Structure 1
């Protein structure tokens, strides 16, 4: 009941009415209208804004055993009333109510991204039989139809139709993503074009969107270290204020000076300094597709001097593609055709990548006979009476085929690429190399980190030669290869022992131990990987690695704002206290000075929400989608460097400790 009354009287409407009473009192003072003290209009302000302040202070003191800033405000208000300063009492109460409204306004603006997520949560779902049911009643396996322009009600898999899906709410991607049968779609995203049917793979309460909403809400509830310090300061400042106020009264013999000290000493600006800045920064990050789980993570990020990166799926896309085709005695098209035909019956990731390459290049894929798979070695078949072999060097040699291709194999191995050697009858006719693509904004991101004096390190399970080749392409200075997951963790601990404040950036799957050990961890938060979001302090929802410098700049600015707010609030209070003791301020003017400082702190923190920290990211994002050449558009992936990786069918990479990494397992045991 008390909480309801407090919330009502602290609301916008009642605060406006309270302000009107105070304005009338000011008008009376300006025009010299004399009224009995009990008819002073400021009493309306005291009742509307002062009573909830008094109730809040008593509730915290009695129920929560908390000496809060509200207690000092209440004491100052009561002391002002006791000496007949009704206007001062009303002004203290009203300006503090206004400060609370400003704080709420800042928090609400910071939560704008969260509200947008909640608003996008669909309330109904259309089954394929035409029935429309509440989204909360959708069951696993239900078939749902989504028409163009509609939001997807639950996570699902497309079973019919093709379309483009706007996933910006989940990933921050500015362009729609083409989807077809078998592709995943996520709750809250928008179907842009064709009608599609999906099979529900999650309940509404377990959807990707709901998990995102829950994580953003959880971030609001975690206080930052600076915020806890400010709360402690507020606790001991209250008794100090009482001591100084009593001393000023006793020494000067003027109780008004003691009351003025109470008015100006309130640490509201100090308490507002951190939470408003943290909330504004988290809100800013949310609207840029970055999920920061706590204020503590945001603060720690600003103190980092070392960023450690995983490779596959972090600095690379994690999508295996054909990077090189080396032919011996036949055309490139024929080599790709016979290899894709032979690999078309294989489920191996390398085989799938080769087949995809052939399909994308419109290269014919023939039917084969006598297909045979040799695990860990390769595959063989017959095409038009020709015997075709595709596999590693051991497999080729075991089938009586020899060739002088060691130089080419060594080159690809040093570049970290997996290879498929292709034999036709008794001759080697070519090599197909496969690898992962470097994110085109990775080199720019690394350079941006170096510009702000941040050390970069690569920890990977790849062999050292491949790791060094990769590092040279993106500009990372320190490299450690051939690492097991536990060895990555050991390296992070070494950096920490040497005084490093370490941030680990990984995909959140095989890097989970390292992510948990680092001072701060950032995961590539692709919605297909729940581990990525749950394991790290920060998740890049759109997997935009270019956001790392943005986060560092945001954290630095947030810490600067917090410290500036604290210094500013303390300086204003200190000056006001001295002026109060000297009699230069009275309760009325003291309230104006003190609460103006509180409002200034809140407004300064609010500026973080709309400040631009993302110039580098926006430039990289633009280059990601289009490059321009004489007015023609070309996809920037055509110009990216290629590095090794392997990806399982469902897109989640798994690290095998006994072979150091899946990449090495494939490269060494299957093709090299």
Structure 2
């Protein structure tokens, strides 16, 4: 490259960077202003609903304004938006559904003087509409947070390994394949690449969900969006930013949608038929009797309030039931999806397991050393380290022993290998097998093969410890299975729901966890796209899939599944926003209750709808023959609604008998 081309390329990079920053700032400002607008609209909706509820309560106490009923406040504040939506739907798409039904219900009630019924219907539907809009806006925020994780900058090394080598910071968007980059501790890896100098530990949980950092040496690959924890290293870019692992993950979240998501509210399936029948019956009553009062009565009794209320009241009751158990359902329609689930796909780390390393075993090799002495020495040494494995060892000691930790000096951490320090003139070291080999400390082969290796094959990590080059023993750390995991799988089987494990772990670790959790179907070494592919395969077989996971890497799978269920306690904000259900209490034991209650809810809705239809038909026949008038019709109408609401509210007390 000539001097002219070099400077032209350099200026081009600057121009592209300026354009990117400008577009980002405009997007942020646009999103901010839109956020303000939505915020005030949301607040106004809440105020209108509260005022309407107060107006209804005052009307019950006999309060009015110069003889004008306060119910008109509820009808105007909550009813007019419903009338508007019904009119728009009819005009633009001839859409005759719930809004049209509710509009007819309110107008019919007004026509015969049943203002109270009109006001209550308007308020209930306004509350439902607000909750739906709120959950949609919260879900949309998830992708925005994921995009925020995209690395913005990188340290470009020019003239690497030459006398005129220099380093400068550039936008991650401008990094090209083959560029040499430096990453220091605490920084995010800007693009996918390969380490050409240095060694470190990388937090890859953003992509893999695995809680334990991965040690990286020269020649190992590193991925965009992952975090460099300890050592500085030099890497060579092997992909552009737009082709990186993190960008692929973002695209999966944005575009992974269920193919069979055409689910509608149960009441809406009857909407057109109900409206047509109601008008025909009213017209026939008017034509054959000549009495307007009969036509109005028909509209009142056939007004499908009980039918419309059957769905939202049952769903609200079930959502209330679930919230008491720490389960957040974002949208009512999710209940219907859950009722159809026949396959549950589990992530491993943070879902079936607790998502963090735990010291599970202390193995003493040296005959002169006791277990308490070994763990005391190891915890004292690891207490000086910030590594997650070190913290797990110290926590184990603190939870099980009372003695204070020893004070060591000359502490030194060797990245990706281990730690060492001095205790009263003795050299103490702890780390992996490679570290001990580099120090010339012998660990018997039979000890490793017969005692340690079986645990390593199940996904455990071994930390060896020695004193003055004398091998003392080791500690085993694992991400342990949740205590409720196996019982959960058994209960799902009773509900005729099949369980599948998809994990990024190796074959041995996957086999071990699957066996412990009593899961027959499992896959290992899964990347995010592999999980999505498996879910799509199940869906192509007409199976309804629920995915349970935590971590950003599970977000695409949560979106692809018919129902996404995220772990609220250990899960990332991205996975929570991408899911339909959040286990706020971080407890998977209530998943069978979630599925069983959803099925019970749909049965309750169907029975409520059947009752409402039968009641409407019977009352309409009586109205057409003049056997009941508007007052009696309104009474029957309200009684039907009350019965449906009471029946649906029983879901609040439902308990799944496992």
TM range (shorter): 0.5 to 0.7
CA 289–224 in structure 1, closer or farther in 2 if over 3 Å, else same: farther
How far has the Cα of 1:387 moved from its partner? Answer: 4.0
Whole-angstrom distance in 2 between the partners of 1:420 and 1:9: 65
Cα deviations by residue, 1:427-467 (Å, 9 ceiling, x for unpaired): 43212111233322222222221221111111112222122
CA 8–78 in structure 1, closer or farther in 2 if over 3 Å, else same: closer
1:11-50 alignment to 2 at 5 Å? 11-15=56-60, 17=62
Whole-angstrom distance in 2 between the partners of 1:453 and 1:613: 18
1:354 to 369, 382, 393: 393
Q: Secondary structure at the match of 1:313?
A: helix
The match for 1:613 is 655
The match for 1:65 is 87
CA 5–366 in structure 1, closer or farther in 2 if over 3 Å, else same: closer
Whole-angstrom distance in 2 between the partners of 1:460 and 1:512: 14
Residue 497 (1) aligns with residue 536 (2): no
Q: What is the TM-score when the length of structure 1 is the normalising length?
A: 0.61
Whole-angstrom distance in 2 between the partners of 1:5 and 1:445: 42
CA 577–359 in structure 1, closer or farther in 2 if over 3 Å, else same: closer
1:535 to 559, 562, 578: 578
Whole-angstrom distance in 2 between the partners of 1:511 and 1:315: 14
Whole-angstrom distance in 2 between the partners of 1:61 and 1:510: 43
RMSD between aligned residues: 3.9
Cα deviations by residue, 1:67-88 (Å, 9 ceiling, x for unpaired): 7345545665687xxxxxxxxx
Whether the aligned pair in 1 keeps the contact of 2:86 and 2:103 (CA below 8 Å) is: no
Q: Secondary structure at the match of 2:471?
A: strand
How far has the Cα of 1:312 moved from its partner? Answer: 1.8
How far has the Cα of 1:259 moved from its partner? Answer: 3.7
The match for 1:178 is none
Which has the higher mean CA deviation after the structures are superposed, 52-61 or 507-516?
Answer: 52-61
The match for 2:295 is 258
Residue 378 (1) aligns with residue 418 (2): yes
Aligned residues: 466
The match for 1:317 is 354
Whether the aligned pair in 1 keeps the contact of 2:550 and 2:570 (CA below 8 Å) is: no
Cα deviations by residue, 1:346-372 (Å, 9 ceiling, x for unpaired): 322222222333344235644445544
Whole-angstrom distance in 2 between the partners of 1:94 and 1:559: 29
Whether the aligned pair in 2 keeps the contact of 1:458 and 1:480 (CA below 8 Å) is: yes
Cα deviations by residue, 1:233-272 (Å, 9 ceiling, x for unpaired): 4466335422222123324556554343223211111221
1:105-124 alignment to 2 at 5 Å? none
How far has the Cα of 1:499 moved from its partner? Answer: 2.0
The match for 1:394 is 434
The match for 1:237 is 274
Cα deviations by residue, 1:48-68 (Å, 9 ceiling, x for unpaired): 768976998787557862673
The match for 1:575 is 618
How far has the Cα of 1:277 moved from its partner? Answer: 1.8
Residue 443 (1) aligns with residue 486 (2): yes
Whether the aligned pair in 1 keeps the contact of 2:350 and 2:571 (CA below 8 Å) is: no
Q: Secondary structure at the match of 2:328?
A: strand
Q: Secondary structure at the match of 1:437?
A: coil
Unaligned runs of 5+ in 2: 1-43, 89-98, 136-260
Q: Secondary structure at the match of 1:272?
A: helix
The match for 1:465 is 508
Whether the aligned pair in 2 keeps the contact of 1:284 and 1:608 (CA below 8 Å) is: yes
Which has the higher mean CA deviation after the structures are superposed, 340-349 or 535-544?
Answer: 340-349
Whole-angstrom distance in 2 between the partners of 1:14 and 1:569: 27
Residue 560 (1) aligns with residue 609 (2): no
1:114-513 alignment to 2 at 5 Å? 225-227=263-265, 230-231=267-268, 233-234=270-271, 237-251=274-288, 257-328=294-365, 329=367, 330-360=369-399, 361-363=401-403, 365-368=405-408, 370-400=410-440, 401-403=442-444, 404-405=446-447, 406-513=449-556
CA 413–595 in structure 1, closer or farther in 2 if over 3 Å, else same: same
Whether the aligned pair in 1 keeps the contact of 2:355 and 2:570 (CA below 8 Å) is: no
CA 346–252 in structure 1, closer or farther in 2 if over 3 Å, else same: same
Whole-angstrom distance in 1 between the partners of 2:619 and 2:438: 89
Q: What is the TM-score when the length of structure 2 is the normalising length?
A: 0.62
